[in-house]
Structure 1
């Protein structure tokens, strides 16, 4: 089965419906990743939504040197491409260097720029030149209007298409705050905006040698972001977040996802009436 062409924002693969980007934080094992993709595909079919499957091949900014990171760019992206082709869904993953992009662009539909790297000009330009759609995670250290400079870099490099993902702003030490005004302000710049519900509840480095978080608040923020008019929702989910190898405290248990999707669809339908 071939993967559908990716369109973004109000012309997304779901039309006027929300763009859903769903998956585990990292490729823990190939078997785990395939299983998660199949389960998400079934949930989304049952709930009548289309989605983009996400999983990182490498978590390059883990808090501790001893933290699990993932696999290689070649193996990880090839696995994601295989999953996408089997299920007929687009796939996305983080990229960390222009060298990574050369490999990832052969397999991946949407290249994601991590928040900590969102101002790296060489990385942004390489992603634009790849011919793939680019999702830039807005850094926690940026104001919403600061993304205009990133957008200009992408436009100047003749990007095939891009959007931004809001994921909270630094609020003192080891804490983030989600300002829903950011969605409006970035859309006023004529950018499409996805809201990352799970990374917005992180407590970076808050658990000492790892990142903590308030995963129970992720559905709350997701509902608020849809009410604020975001173009899509990014959610990391896991069968058992307590046993996840990365970002477990922030991920939504898979069993809770169907109800949340129904809630988000309902809110979206109301604001489009």
Structure 2
């Protein structure tokens, strides 16, 4: 498994690392509060942290749902968070035109799961030289994630993260198959488990309490760490029930620290026996 460099720091199998933040960028006060609190938690737990929030959510199920502040305003706020709290930031891109301006601010460029096989988008991100987080599309087998990885490697970029978020099973359900972590690890880059997206109930508005199954967050996260992941991706909000996106699946920040503690213990045990 290769370690990667993000903003001059090493991320990989030695320590469990955390990708965390509100699902989508909201008003500045909420975002600054979230960033400050998440950083303090990560420092107390000695977790390397990448702050995540989307400047744009382009896969909302209705045009009436909040999509974020957009590229320019969103990047300005992410840059302020990055500078104020001295931590790397991550956001996702959906169009070729977003990649270059995003690379001027972001420390990690994320390719959404739905777009992981879009060659032009993946290669444009690769050409920036920035680390690229490729989310596993819920429509392809995990071993086939070698294909977008090779597209990034083709341009000499070896700073790659692979993120699992579940596989389509039946209608409106994503199921996490532990075999996926094995297959993704074989590709040779840090593997992250996105736990908050895999508990979404698609087809149900994310503000509806039935739109997420938070009761499964702990068991699924613990199982994923035991299966050999390197990082946890969890969307967290100062008041999750009022979040403008994925309110039913985000974690309240005041629950985050206790949620992460057993994952750190399990990771410590797992890495002793990792082959």
**Equivalent position SS for 2:24:** coil
CA contact (8 A) 2:33 2:238 kept: no
Aligned match of 2:11: 8
Report the CA distance shift for 1:208/1:187 in structure 2 as closer, same or farther (over 3 A).
closer
Matched, 1:79 2:82: no
Residue 186 of structure 1 and its aligned partner are, at CA, apart by 1.2
1:185-227 C-alpha deviation (Å, 9 max, x unpaired): 1111223210001011111223499892212212221111111
Aligned match of 1:240: 239
* 1:1-273 superposed matches below 5 A: 4-10=7-13, 16-207=14-205, 212-273=211-272
Work out the CA distance in 2 between the residues paired with 1:122 and 1:4: 25
CA contact (8 A) 1:8 1:163 kept: no
TM-score, structure 2 normalization = 0.92
Residue 160 of structure 1 and its aligned partner are, at CA, apart by 4.5
1:120-177 C-alpha deviation (Å, 9 max, x unpaired): 1000000000110000011111111110111111111222511210000001111110
Work out the CA distance in 1 between the residues paired with 2:128 and 2:144: 24
Work out the CA distance in 1 between the residues paired with 2:22 and 2:7: 21
Q: CA RMSD in A?
A: 1.7
46-55 or 169-178: bigger deviation: 46-55
TM-score, structure 1 normalization = 0.93
Work out the CA distance in 2 between the residues paired with 1:175 and 1:248: 17
**Equivalent position SS for 1:32:** helix
Instruction: Provide structure 1 residue ranges, at least 5 long, that are not aligned to the other structure.
Output: 11-15
CA contact (8 A) 2:15 2:48 kept: no
Instruction: Provide structure 2 residue ranges, at least 5 long, that are not aligned to the other structure.
Output: 1-5
Q: Paired residues, what number?
A: 266
224-233 or 150-159: bigger deviation: 150-159
Work out the CA distance in 1 between the residues paired with 2:267 and 2:46: 14
Aligned match of 2:3: none
